[in-house]
Structure 1
Amino acid sequence: MEAWKNFDLYSLLDTLVSIGAAFVLGGAIGLERQIRQRTAGLRTNTLVAVGASVFVDMANRLHGHEGAVHVAAYVVSGIGFLGAGAIMKEGANITGLNTAATLWGSAAVGACAGADLIGEALVAALFVLASNTLLRPVVNRINRRPVHEEFSEATYVVYATCSRSAQPEAREKLVDLLEAANYPVRDVAQHAFGQDDAEIEATLYATAVEPEELDKVVSDLEAQPGIRQAFWNARSED
């Protein structure tokens, strides 16, 4: 029987060491995630590490190092799809990026263990854990600091409310005034505003903005016939 021919106690022990290392190290990464109550916690990260280890170890046994390298490449692709499922977009907010990256790290740890690189797997696990623990206070401190305007990235939008009959002229005037002030328009949207009015929304290309200049554009717009109100605001980029 082929199964008996393939049975090798030494290879089995080697596989046990590889998968055991992946289980322990993936569990350590998952435990930190579980304590913080993340979507991918103890079991998920452990399974990812163990699964990657099994695939790479099997390829290593059947086709040597070359086979292990090929399977490791497929593991990377497969974990990419798994990580994509952990990323959620709710409006302008995106969550799950760190969870997806952690799963990727767990797969790397498992792949190292499956390739019999136990020391490398340990080092990789330590750095994944350090990224999720030691860097957290640094991120929190940076996020609590006020953002200087020159370092921030924002989208600037100029709005003009006008009567619907004056909508074409108001749109043309809005674009002309912005371009005259050296603020090129990336996109212009129009939609109904109440029963008789319309709102024109001009989104600017990413650029440094002088508030006084946009204030002057808004003042000039409000002085135009048919335009009832004009204003601008900025929203931060993700």
Structure 2
Amino acid sequence: MANPNDIHYTEEVLKLLLSAFVGCLVGLEREIRRKPAGFRTLAIICLGSTIFTICSYKLGFPDNEDRIAANIITGVGFLGAGVIFRNGFSVSGITTAATIWIAAALGMLIGIGEYTISILALVISLVILSLMEYLQEYIDRRFQHRNYTISYKGDFDNSEFKTKLSELNIKARNFKETRQDTQTSFEFDATGKEIDLDVFNLWLKNETRIYSFVW
């Protein structure tokens, strides 16, 4: 006759193996894209969350079994903050930080024995990380945002800018004009399709009065 303790112990081992496997699957997408947190990192995070969840209900009192597991969220928050970087006007690493967060959540689900929900959550997460990227790229191409700084030799009427932008169906706002010696500079935000913005860039390159432009 099997020992109930041995059966329980076997279940905990399976939880650890499953959480490591699930963490690898979540991290594989990040690894392929060369992100800071790869499959090894996310496998360890998922596995660690499962371990702490198991410790929580094994060490906790009957009415306080979540006292250790509750602190996983705090620890994951520190890890997520470490992969977020700001570069000028853009912020990178937010998706990786969210992936760390979901890996920890999957580990906790496995730790409490909610295998069906954890697998379903894994599938949804992989769909969002992989398949949804194509939708995001499509949206980015149609609704791209650029910040332009354009410098001219001498005076230049910004109405020429606005006319050209209107022809290309590019929306511009926050126009700012500055003048220094014989150089005039314009700063503005432009939103439009990627192909239209590229045509606008080509027009800027061919315009002999333009000294420089940055976007």
Structure-1-length-normalised TM-score: 0.60
Residues 55 and 236 of structure 1, relative CA distance in 2, 3 Å threshold = farther
Q: Residue deviations 1:4-39, cap 9 Å, x none?
A: xxxx43332221121111111111111222122221
Q: Is the 8 A contact 1:18 1:57 kept in 2?
A: no
Task: Measure the CA separation in 2 of the matches of 1:155 and 1:69.
Answer: 51
Figure out how many residues of one structure are paired with residues of the other and give that number.
164
1:235 aligns with 189
Q: Hey, what does 1:111 align to over in structure 2?
A: 108
8 A Cα contact 2:24 2:40, kept in partner:
yes
Instruction: Quote the Cα distance in structure 1 between the aligned partners of 2:190 and 2:108.
Output: 39
1:153 and 1:83, CA in 2 relative to 1: closer, same or farther beyond 3 A?
A: farther
**Consecutive unaligned residues in structure 2, runs of 5 or more:** 146-164, 192-215
1:27-56 Cα offsets, whole Å, 9 max, x none, are 111122212222111101100100000000
**1:145-202, CA deviations, whole angstroms, 9 ceiling, x for partnerless residues?**
14599xx9987253444xxxxxxxxxxxxxxxxxxxxxxxxxxxxxxx6xxx7xxxxx
Q: C-alpha separation between the residues in 1 aligned to 2:144 and 2:92?
A: 21
1:38-117 equivalences under 5 Å are: 38-63=35-60, 67-117=64-114
For residues 31 and 12 of structure 1, the distance between their equivalents in structure 2, rounded to whole angstroms, comes to 29
**1:142/1:56 Cα in 2 relative to 1: closer, same or farther (>3 Å)?**
same
Instruction: Provide, for residues 61-89 of structure 1, a one-character-per-residue CA deviation record: whole Å limited to 9, x for no partner.
Output: 22267544333321112111100100111
- Structure 1 or 2, whichever has the larger Rg, is 1
Could you state the TM-score of these two structures normalised by the residue count of structure 2? Answer: 0.66
- Counterpart of 2:120 in structure 1 is 123
**Using the alignment, how far apart are the partners of 2:6 and 2:50 within structure 1?**
18
Q: Matched residue of 1:94: which SS?
A: strand
The answer as to 2:133 corresponding to 1:136 is: yes
Q: Matched residues, percent identical?
A: 27
- Are residues 140 and 57 of structure 1, via their aligned partners in 2, closer, same or farther at CA, if it must alter by over 3 Å? same
Q: The residue matched to 1:29 in structure 2 has which SS?
A: helix
Q: What residue identity is the alignment partner of 1:233?
A: E
- 1:156 matched to 2:174? The reply is yes
Query: Which letter does structure 1 place at the counterpart of 2:18?
Result: A
- 2:7 & 2:121 partners in 1: Cα distance? 26
Distance in 2 (alpha carbons) for counterparts of 1:123 and 1:91:
38
In structure 2, how many angstroms separate the alpha carbons of the residues matched to 1:109 and 1:230? 56
Q: Residue 19 of structure 1 contacts residue 53 of structure 1 at CA under 8 Å; is this kept in 2?
A: yes
C-alpha distance 29-118 of structure 1, shift in aligned 2 (>3 A): same
> Structure 1's 34 and 153: CA in aligned 2 closer, same or farther, altered over 3 A?
farther
> Quick one: distance in 2 between partners of 1:65 and 1:119?
25
1:35 maps to 2:32: yes
Matches of 1:230 and 1:36 in 2, distance apart?
A: 41
Aligned equivalents of 2:67 and 2:26: distance in 1?
A: 25
